[in-house]
C-alpha cells in the first residue's frame, strides 16, 4: 500500500478542510485500509511504502504492518510500487501474488478483498467510480508487469496485461469504487461510511 506524507495528502480537499484535518483524514483512511487488509483471508503480509516512514509508523501504530521507505531518488507512485515489489520479490517466490491497494478507500471491506482474490484472471483491476482509474490492482509479483497508475490507469493496466500475455478482468464493487479525494467523492459514499469517517474528521460533515 503506498502512503503519502501527512502534509501533501488530500490537497484537493483544501477548500473544505484545513491542513490538520486533512492530515487526520489521511491517518483515518490509511488505518481503515490496512485494518481491512489484515482482516481479509488470503492476505499474508501488508507492506506500506512511503517517503515519510515516521508519519506512516505513527499513523499505523498497533497494526501488524511493515513500513518500507521510498528512496528519495525514486519519487512518484509508480517508482514507489516498483521499489516495494523488488523488496517483496527478494523474500517471496516469484509465483506469489501482489495486491496494490490505495490508502484512501473508506468503504473497503474484507468481502471486497476476498472478491478480488477469488477472480480467476492473473490480473485483476478494481476500477474507480468513473471507470477510468485503478483503486486496487492484483497481479503476479514476478510477471514484470509495469505499474501505470495515473490518468486513465484502468485502460493502461489492461493494455499492459495484454502486452504481457496475461488475462485481465475488471471488478467494480461499491467498496472498491469510491476513494476520497474530493467533496464529490464524499457525497458518493454510503451513509454509514460517511457517519464513521465524519465522526473522526468532523470538518467533512460541516463542509461537504
3-state secondary structure of 98: strand
- 1, part of any domain: no
The pLDDT of residue 93 is 75
Residue 154 maps to a domain? yes
pLDDT at 208: 63
Report yes or no on 146 lying in a domain. Answer: yes
Task: Please indicate, yes or no, if residue 18 is contained in any of the structural domains.
Answer: yes
Q: What is the pLDDT of residue 35?
A: 98
* 27 domain residue, yes or no: yes
3-state class (DSSP) for residue 139 = strand
pTM for this entry: 0.94
Q: Which residues of the chain have pLDDT under 50?
A: none
**What is the CA angle 174-178-179, rounded to 5?**
145
Strand locations in 43-189 (E): 47-50, 66-69, 97-101, 123-127, 134-140, 168-171
Per the document, the length of the chain is 208
Residue 4 lies in a domain: no
pLDDT tens for residues 51-96? Answer: 999 999 999 999 999 999 999 999 999 999 999 999 999 987 777 8
Domain CATH number, residue 16: 3.90.550.10
Q: Is residue 118 a part of any domain in this protein?
A: yes
Q: Tell me how far apart the alpha carbons of residues 14 and 183 are, in angstroms, rounded to a whole number.
A: 10
pLDDT of residue 207: 61
The pLDDT score that the predictor gives to residue 6 is 76
Number of domains in the chain: 1
pLDDT at 94: 72
Which residue range is the domain that position 83 belongs to? 11-207
Amino acid at each position: 500500500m503506498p502512503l503519502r506524507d501527512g502534509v501533501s495528502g488530500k490537497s484537493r480537499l483544501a477548500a473544505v478542510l484545513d491542513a490538520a484535518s486533512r492530515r487526520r483524514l489521511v491517518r483515518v483512511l490509511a488505518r481503515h485500509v490496512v485494518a481491512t487488509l489484515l482482516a481479509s483471508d488470503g492476505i499474508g503480509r501488508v507492506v506500506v511504502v512511503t517517503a515519510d516512514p515516521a508519519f506512516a509508523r505513527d499513523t499505523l501504530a498497533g497494526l501488524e504492518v511493515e513500513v518500507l521507505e521510498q528512496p528519495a531518488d525514486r519519487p512518484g507512485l509508480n517508482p514507489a510500487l516498483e521499489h516495494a515489489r523488488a523488496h517483496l520479490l527478494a523474500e517471496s517466490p516469484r509465483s506469489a501474488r501482489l495486491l496494490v491497494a490505495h490508502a484512501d478507500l473508506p468503504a473497503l471491506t474484507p468481502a471486497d478483498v476476498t472478491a478480488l482474490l477469488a477472480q480467476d484472471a492473473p490480473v485483476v483491476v478494481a476500477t474507480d467510480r468513473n471507470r477510468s482509474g485503478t483503486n486496487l490492482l492484483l497481479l503476479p509479483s514476478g510477471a514484470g508487469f509495469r505499474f501505470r497508475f495515473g490518468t486513465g490507469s484502468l485502460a493502461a493496466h489492461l493494455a499492459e496485461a495484454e502486452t504481457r500475455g496475461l488475462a485481465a478482468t475488471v471488478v467494480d464493487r461499491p467498496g472498491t469504487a469510491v476513494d476520497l479525494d474530493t467533496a464529490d467523492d464524499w457525497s458518493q459514499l454510503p451513509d454509514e461510511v460517511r457517519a464513521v469517517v465524519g465522526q473522526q474528521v468532523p470538518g467533512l460533515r460541516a463542509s461537504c
